[in-house]
Amino acid sequence: MNAQLGFCTGNSGDPIFTETFGAGTTNVELPPGTTTYTFANTSPNDGFYTVSSNSNWFGWHNITDHTNGDTNGRMLIVNADFTAGEFYRTAISGLCENTTYEFSSWMMNLLPASGCGGVGIPINVKFEIWDNTDTNLLASGDTGDITGTSSPNWQQYALVFQTLPSQTSVILKMINNGVGGCGNDLALDDIVFKSCGDSVVIEDSSSTNITNICEDEGPFTTTLTATPDFTIFSSHFYQWQESTDGINWVDIPGETNTSYTALAITATTFYRVKVAEDIINVNNDSCNSTSEIYEIRIVELPKAPLSNGDLIICENDDTALTVTTPIDITVNWYDAPTGGNLLLANSNSYKPNTTGIYYAEAVTQVANCSSDTRTTMQIEYLETPEVTDETITFCENTNINIHANPTNPTAVTSYLWNTGADTESIEVSNSGTYTVEVANNSCSVIKFITLTQIENPIIDVVESEGTSIIITTTNTGNFLYSLDGFNYQSNPVFSNIEGGQYTIYVKHQDCNQVTTTQHIHFHIPKFFTPNNDNANDTFNLKGIEFYNSSQVSIFDRYGKLLKIAINSAFSWDGTFNNQQLPSGDYWYIVIVENQKFTGHFTLKR
């Protein structure tokens, strides 16, 4: 509401006069007697006007008219005269006596806020309502200064007045309060006269102005009451009306009381009352006003939701069942096709915890009307196979069976190894990393098996050191050693071993394959005791007979050769020419395959 002016504070009737200035691409004149300004076929200078569909002059806002739906709609464009005065008048007839009316019009200051250096003259218009004799002023009001804006801005102004007894027509005048110059340029459109009455509300017993009913809950009956606020009328006469669209109205015969009972409603229907202060004006649309509207909305039952498909998914998959509905329809989920337990409300998706069949019901946001049927949705959770990665060792030159070994084998439908095999286990002979995809239909896991080969021992050297045999390997491992192929030990040193030719056996403790080599073991004793006690009775070089060439010579301390043997076993009992030699040290020269050993030993009696 603007200062000195005012809108109808109650309900208005339908417009009884409207001026939109028509439509077209050419500029036109107002009817004779409408204005004291001069018509301009192009740009209007000070004191000129035009009726046009555009305002593209003088740097003004270039606008279209205000009337909704117009194509090339025209508006009145006024460039104010240098002196204040009337620029528009029109006669309005067909009014009712002793009746309150609202006059309104849309206006715009065409000069942008930046025009005329930012100091343009504002527009300021006075509205006057005179009787048809043009002698009695019934009402007037000023818009006050309307300054320029940075963007086009249509504003509505109104004036309320009451006709006198026997008065059925008036004269509308618009007067420019300002003077011409740089500014004071206006556009005007959509002049409307309509009756003005009390604010009248239509309510039911619950004090509401709308009732939403599902179509399967009808027919619906309710009693409506019209309640005025007495701001304008001191008495009230009614005519009830109904409509199927809220636009086109028909009178309900005989319904003229404050209340009305709508009976057995099965389709959406709108209700209102025409109101007048005098009974003779109730059915005169130039004199009456209309109330607020009451709506009985019959809401159509929604169709069942559209399924987006059943689901067969893995047990750890978060995908939910989903349905599609129109934008104003929500969905409730149940565990039964009818009745049952509500599982989730107001959601187009539902994530059950268990395999099963679930039901989606469409519900309108208005009135909560449910679909006749529910959409059946099924979800099946597939058990995911469970496997454990493994690191396995195997023996060199052997094959090994490796297994997927799921903990829930009944859930498995297929296997696929990185070798291409599709069985639960495969036989392999090479080290490396093997993978197997273990699947239950589309649900699968990958198992990794790291296979490491155990190397067989590689014998580097076998040495005799005194009575001991020492075995050395070029690689390391948990090896076992044997001189007979049956009795193994973890120590590579064999002690107190008689001379002789031996097969050396070496294997890994976890494997069966044995590495072997031949070793001739002999040693030169430090003493012997030829006393017939069966212990060290001879100087015996056991094992020397296994060499390809050998020679053993025994001497006394004076260098006398006592015994010689070539390429044969050697044993001396401490005699020479069948005579026992005395205790003492004796010397030897031993040549084995071109390797010479010299030293002495002791004979003890």
Residues 317-350 have pLDDT tens digits of 999 999 999 999 999 999 999 999 999 999 999 9
Over residues 103-124, the mean pLDDT reads: 93
Contact 364, 381 (CB under 8 A): no
Q: Would you say residue 1 lies in a domain?
A: no
- Domain co-membership, 181 together with 64: yes
What tokens does 180 get? 């011409």
pLDDT tens digits, one per residue of 449-482:
999 999 999 999 999 998 999 999 999 999 999 9
68 and 125 housed in the same domain: yes
pLDDT tens profile 504-545: 999 999 999 999 999 988 888 999 999 988 888 999 998 898
Q: For residue 1, what pLDDT is reported?
A: 28
pLDDT, tens only, 271-309:
999 999 888 889 888 888 899 999 999 999 999 999 999
Predicted structure pTM score: 0.58
Q: Domain check: are 19 and 150 in the same one?
A: yes
Percentage of the chain lying above the pLDDT 70 cut: 99
Task: Give a yes or no: residue 2 inside a domain.
Answer: no
Tell me the mean pLDDT in the region 408-434: 96
> What is the C-alpha separation between 156 and 307, in angstroms, rounded?
51
Q: 232 with 274, same domain?
A: yes
Residue among 191, 184, 89 nearest 130 (CA): 89
Give the long-range contacts of residues 450-454, CB within 8 A, separation 24 or more.
450/389, 450/390, 450/391, 450/392, 451/392, 451/393, 451/394, 451/400, 451/402, 452/391, 452/392, 452/393, 452/394, 453/393, 453/394, 453/395, 453/396, 454/393, 454/394, 454/395, 454/396, 454/508, 454/510, 454/511
User: Distance of CA 415 to CAs 60, 386, 431, 434, Å?
Assistant: 80, 13, 21, 13
> Do the domain assignments include residue 541?
yes
Average pLDDT over residues 396-409: 95
| CATH number of the domain encompassing residue 121 | 2.60.120.260
Alpha-carbon torsion, ordered 476, 482, 487, 488, to 10 deg: -10
Please tell me the predicted confidence (pLDDT) of residue 148.
93
In angstroms, the CA 491 to CA 11 distance is: 115
Residue 387's pLDDT is what? Answer: 97
Considering the domain architecture, whether residues 158 and 60 belong to the same structural domain is answered as: yes
Q: How far apart are CA 280 and CA 443, in angstroms?
A: 83
Q: What is the pLDDT of residue 4?
A: 45
238 contacts: CB under 8 Å, gap ≥ 6: 226, 256, 257, 258, 273, 274, 275, 282
316 — pLDDT class (breaks 50, 70, 90): confident
CA angle 262/264/270 to nearest 5° reads 45
| Domain shared by 372 and 265, yes or no | no
| pLDDT digits 0-9 by tens, 179-204 | 778 889 999 999 999 988 889 999 99
Residue 279 has φ and ψ, to the nearest 5°, of: -60, -30
Final residue in a domain of this structure, among 497, 521, 545: 521
Strand partners, 375: 360
Residues 233, 216 share a domain: yes
Whether residues 102 and 57 share a domain: the answer is yes
Nearest alpha-carbon partner for 73 in 18, 22, 17: 22
Tell whether 148 and 260 lie within a shared domain.
Answer: no
What is the DSSP annotation of 227-242? EE--SS-SS-EEEEEE
DSSP 582: P
Residue ending a domain, choose from 452, 483, 498: 452
Look over the chain and give the mean of its residue pLDDT values, rounded to a whole number: 93
- Domain ranges, residue 415: 390-452
Please report, to the nearest 10 degrees, the dihedral formed by the alpha carbons of residues 25, 28, 34, 36 taken in order: 120
pLDDT at 3 over 60: no
On whether residue 487 sits in a domain, the answer given is: yes
Which tokens sit at 22? 């028509």
Encode pLDDT of 57-79 as tens digits: 999 999 999 999 889 999 999 99
Q: Is residue 169 part of a domain?
A: yes
Where b means 16+ CB within 10 Å and e means fewer, 99-128 reads bbbbbbbbbbbbbbeebbeeebbbbbbbbb
End residue of a domain, out of 143, 169, 196: 196
pLDDT, residue 477, reads 94
Residue 499 lies in a domain: yes
Q: Which two tokens stand for residue 194?
A: 């309509």
CATH of the domain at 256: 2.60.40.10
Q: How confident is the model at residue 597 (pLDDT cuts 50, 70, 90)?
A: confident
pLDDT of residue 204: 94
Do 37 and 163 belong together in one domain? yes
Beta strands 306-307 and 294-299 are unpaired
pLDDT class for 233, splitting at 50, 70, 90? confident
Q: What's the helix, strand, coil split of the chain in %, to 5? A: 5, 50, 50
**Both 183 and 219 in a single domain?**
no
Phi-psi region of 363 (alpha: psi -120 to 50; beta: other; left: phi over 0): beta
* 5 in any annotated domain: no
Q: How confident is the model at residue 178 (pLDDT cuts 50, 70, 90)?
A: confident
413 domain-assigned: yes
**Do 398 and 374 share a domain, yes or no?**
no
Count of domains for the chain: 6
